[in-house]
Amino acid sequence: MTLRRAHRLNAIALAAFIALHIANHLFIFAGAEAHLATMDRLRLLYRLPGIEHMLVALFAAQIGIGTIMALRQKSRIPWKRAQKISGIVLALFLAQHIIAAIATRMTLADVDTNTYWAAAVVSRAPFSWYFVPYYTAGLIALGVHIAAILRFRPGLHKLAMPTAILSAPAAILIVAGFMGAFAPITLPPPYLAYIDSYWRVTD
Ligand code: HEM
């Protein structure tokens, strides 16, 4: 099997999780409780024994295969370059995102990697200086990467540019939601203690 085919098949397998995960994040517009309640329901699916291990393994494989493909790709076609750059940004984002979620769960018993875990780092400086651009870049990279897929699909290529362009405001709105822009988010004490343990930020 070629790397390209493996990357494609893997992407199809991961698409369901990615769609549900991003749909989950849209509930942040209705507040942290709505986001958390949706995540609790989705966890019944993706945290099933075996499913989660397979998910993490498939993401790891996708990051590895994608990185090799990006390093080999030398095309000067603008959409191919966009595909390569967005793929590299997505791989860097995902490597950190997945390792952070797993490491937090393994080391901090009272910090559930839920809505408040993400909200904590985008709503408190100095963490927000890094995590606001980090989450925004990850979401935009996903949007541009999907747009590049559409660009090379006959019949769907007209959707590529709108998808790429809309991914920026969508990313900004979602991250703003985790910052409490649409509904204020009160971090529970374990999450304040969590960020305090790295940098004293509470009053
Ligand atoms: C604003 C953007 C994002 C936020 C706030 C966010 C938030 C989260 C949270 C809270 C978790 C932990 C879930 C749990 O413990 O049940 C998580 C896990 C994860 N996220 Fe994201 N995410 C974002 C974007 C993305 C994107 C763009 C992708 C993929 C393209 C992604 C892929 C994953 C994966 C693979 C996991 C690990 C799942 C697991 O270990 O079970 N995330 N994310």
pLDDT classification of 202: cutoffs 50, 70, 90: low
Q: Counting beta carbons within 10 angstroms of the beta carbon of residue 144, is it exposed (0 to 12), middle (13 to 18) or buried (19 or more)?
A: buried
Q: Counting beta carbons within 10 angstroms of the beta carbon of residue 199, is it exposed (0 to 12), middle (13 to 18) or buried (19 or more)?
A: exposed
Using an 8 Å Cβ cutoff, are 170 and 143 in contact?
yes
Alpha-carbon span 16 to 27, nearest angstrom: 17
CA distances from 37 to 24, 33, 96 (A): 9, 6, 25
131 CB within 6 A, ligand 1: no
pLDDT at 200 over 90: no
Q: Which residues are CB-contacts of 111 (< 8 A; sequence separation ≥ 6)?
A: 104, 117, 190, 191, 194
Give me the pLDDT at residue 198, please: 85
Q: Which residues are CB-contacts of 36 (< 8 A; sequence separation ≥ 6)?
A: 114, 115, 116
Report the separation in Å between the CA atom of 21 and the middle of ligand 1, taken as the mean of its atom positions.
7
58 CB within 6 A, ligand 1: no
Alpha-carbon span 11 to 152, nearest angstrom: 15
Q: Looking at the CA of residue 59, tell me the nearest atom of ligand 1.
A: 35
138 CB within 6 A, ligand 1: yes
pLDDT classification of 23: cutoffs 50, 70, 90: very high
CA-atom Rg of the chain in angstroms: 18
Using an 8 Å Cβ cutoff, are 52 and 67 in contact?
no
Q: What pTM value is reported for the model?
A: 0.95
Report the separation in Å between the CA atom of 63 and the middle of ligand 1, taken as the mean of its atom positions.
15
Choose one of 10, 14, 48, 97 to mutate for the ligand 1 pocket test, by most ligand atoms within 8 angstroms of C-beta: 97
- Percent of the chain scored above 90 by pLDDT? 95
Quick one: tokens of 78? 């603008």
Positive or negative CA dihedral for 78, 80, 81, 83? positive
pLDDT in tens, 117-168: 999 999 999 999 999 999 999 999 999 999 999 999 999 999 999 999 999 9
pLDDT in tens, 79-89: 999 999 999 99
Using an 8 Å Cβ cutoff, are 115 and 162 in contact?
no
Give me the pLDDT at residue 51, please: 96
Peptide bond into 189 cis (omega under 30): no
pLDDT at 25 over 60: yes
pLDDT in tens, 57-112: 999 999 999 999 999 999 999 999 999 999 999 999 999 999 999 999 999 999 99
118 CB within 6 A, ligand 1: yes
Average pLDDT over residues 198-203: 66
98 CB within 6 A, ligand 1: yes
pLDDT classification of 191: cutoffs 50, 70, 90: very high
pLDDT classification of 203: cutoffs 50, 70, 90: low
111 CB within 6 A, ligand 1: no
